[in-house]
Amino acid sequence: MMNQYPAWKYLLLIFILVVAVIYALPNLYGADPALQISGSRNNVVDQAVADRVSAALKAADIPVKSVETVPGKLLVRFNSTETQLKAVDYVKSELGSGFIVAFNLAPAIPGWLQAANALPMYLGLDLRGGVHFLMEVDMMSTVKKAIEGYGLGLRMQFRDEKIRYALLRAEEQGVRIMLRNEEDRQRARDLVAKEYPELLIADIDDAKNPGLLVSISEQEVRDIEKFALQQNILTLRNRVNELGVAEPVITQQGAGRIVVQLPGVQDTAEAKKILGATATLEYRAVDYEHDTQAAVAGNVPAGSRLYYDRDGQPVLLKKAVIATGDQITNASSGLDQQSGSPMVNVSLDAKGGSSMLKFTKANVGKPMAVVFIENKTETTLVDGVPVKNTKNVEEVISVATIRGVFSNRFQTTGLDSPQEAHELALLLRSGALAAPIEIVEERTVGPSLGKDNIEQGFNSVIIGFIAVLIFMALYYRVFGMVADIALALNLVMIVAVLSMLQATLTLPGIAGIVLTVGMAVDANVLIFERIREELRNGNSPQASIQAGYEKAFSTIADANITTLIAAVVLLSYGTGAIKGFAVTLSIGIVTSMLTAILGTRAVINLIYGGHKRVSHLSI
């Protein structure tokens, strides 16, 4: 009776096994090489686009597995990578620059697994292929922008409080303010101390005027830079996710750099388009008081600046900025209830809402523009040495009329189509970078390299797995073969958990699986050696099995818990390859405990347990 196993434990193990098999199955079906087509600006992906693509590929005699129209994009599947690479040029030629054509790998799982939400685990850049960008955040620009913002705010507040000044200028060290007299300096000092307690204030004097130097503390600089980096990471992640790129990896590297990896995308030029412009947004007032054509001729009024819209038409705007993109908290597209035209609902933070409220109170019925500012970096060879040149591109993407007084919530109208409204909402919601970024490194991992890595990693798992199977079967005989069954189930469970969590599998992750394969039998070795020891001490086979599992449990638990702690630490503080290794190691430790203790005990009890009279154990 000592080796009776409760029925509920068998049912639990069967349930876990069935679930594990179902969620591990999608990984056997692989993925089809595919082209992912999405529209840009006013171009919409619909059935007409699908027909054009199908006709172009048929005319080029390129076989297509299927053409699928999914919300917002078109997925063209092929039977081989060679066909995929050949087809991309024909598709780009047919659709032109109004569409984004990117390489992708589309899961080829059957419908019944999709209905159960059973999806294959993600493959990292080193396995799937794709593009890798290393982006550097312009921290100096961030601090400079903050100083200029303080300067603009102080200028407006001094004007409201009627504090006279001879000079107010934003410099590298801070905002230099020269006042008319000592009384004005004291009033200015009190105002700055009240409104901006985080700033440092120092007295300065020249031959004519007393003054103040308002500067940012070192802690404030660090906070500004930290916020800029975090905001940029969030912005890039949102932009990539909403544009439909699967499994992106966007992480911080060091104090001022961001790594962006886009698995499945092979063309770096198109990947840059998917990432979108490294840009910021600004809301500005339209200068309707002066002649735009005169400004085009060179007579630009003081306090105004000439811009151009996306169609190349000139637009004259005021220099003063109403609100910037980093003050936008949310944006969504829709239709205006009164006119039925496309529009975008915008929400600002408290600071942006206050500025917008002041502006709209005085400008109802007047136009306001949204300016898109992009920093492009081009590398050219000068005497054989690569030289980077940064080009600033600014264009007006929307001009709308202010219908009423508003602050942190308002509508942007004047858009041409719902698609344009959707893209503008995306840009407003996720396109505001707190600081300019520059791509300092880019590289492509080809699909053939990824395929080789997958084969080598798979072979390493198989070789390690078979070696352990043979050793356990020869050394522990029947008990060893039971451990082999548990080891196979353990591999299935690891794959199933990775798939359910939609974790990303990388080469270091495969290394973690290989290590887990070796470690998974440790628990069984401890149990089996304990059973051998009990037999040598003269105990009966049934008592030896019972004692072997019970007395080895504490040792197994201690060893696995300490390893799990180390894996969790790696998972918490590691990045990149270290984290990929820690994920599979952590999962493998938990699943190996389940299969090695509960799984093998259940099978052993089926063979030797119950009321069977056993005189000898094959161990």
Per-residue pLDDT reduced to its tens digit, 42-79 = 677 888 889 999 999 999 899 999 998 877 788 899 98
Domains and CATH numbers, the chain: 7-26+446-608 (1.20.1640.10), 31-108 (3.30.70.260), 140-218 (3.30.70), 222-444 (3.30.1360.200)
DSSP structure class, residue 97: G
Band the pLDDT of 601: cuts 50, 70, 90.
Answer: confident
pLDDT score of 270 more than 60: no
Does residue 37 have a pLDDT over 70? Answer: yes
Contact between residue 214 and residue 148 where contact means Cβ atoms under 8 Å apart? no
- Judged against a pLDDT cut of 70, whether residue 456 lies above it is answered with yes
| Structure-token match 């171009």, residue found | 43
Measuring CA to CA, how many Å separate 2 from each of 190, 540, 600, 608?
A: 84, 11, 16, 11
Residue 266 has pLDDT above 70, yes or no: no
Q: Strand order in 31-39's β-sheet?
A: 66-70, 73-77, 31-39, 99-107
Helix (H) or strand (E) holding 379: strand 367-382
Residue 372: strand, helix, or coil: strand
Regarding beta strands 342-348 and 328-335, do their DSSP bridges make them parallel or antiparallel, or are they unpaired? Answer: antiparallel
Check whether 32 has a pLDDT greater than 90: no
* pLDDT above 70 for 271: no
Residue 264 pLDDT grade (very low, low, confident, very high; cuts 50, 70, 90): low
Asked whether the predicted pLDDT for residue 353 surpasses 80, the reply is yes
240 has pLDDT over 70: yes
Q: What is the pLDDT of residue 24?
A: 92
| Number of residues that make up the chain | 619
The 8-class DSSP code of residue 597 comes to I
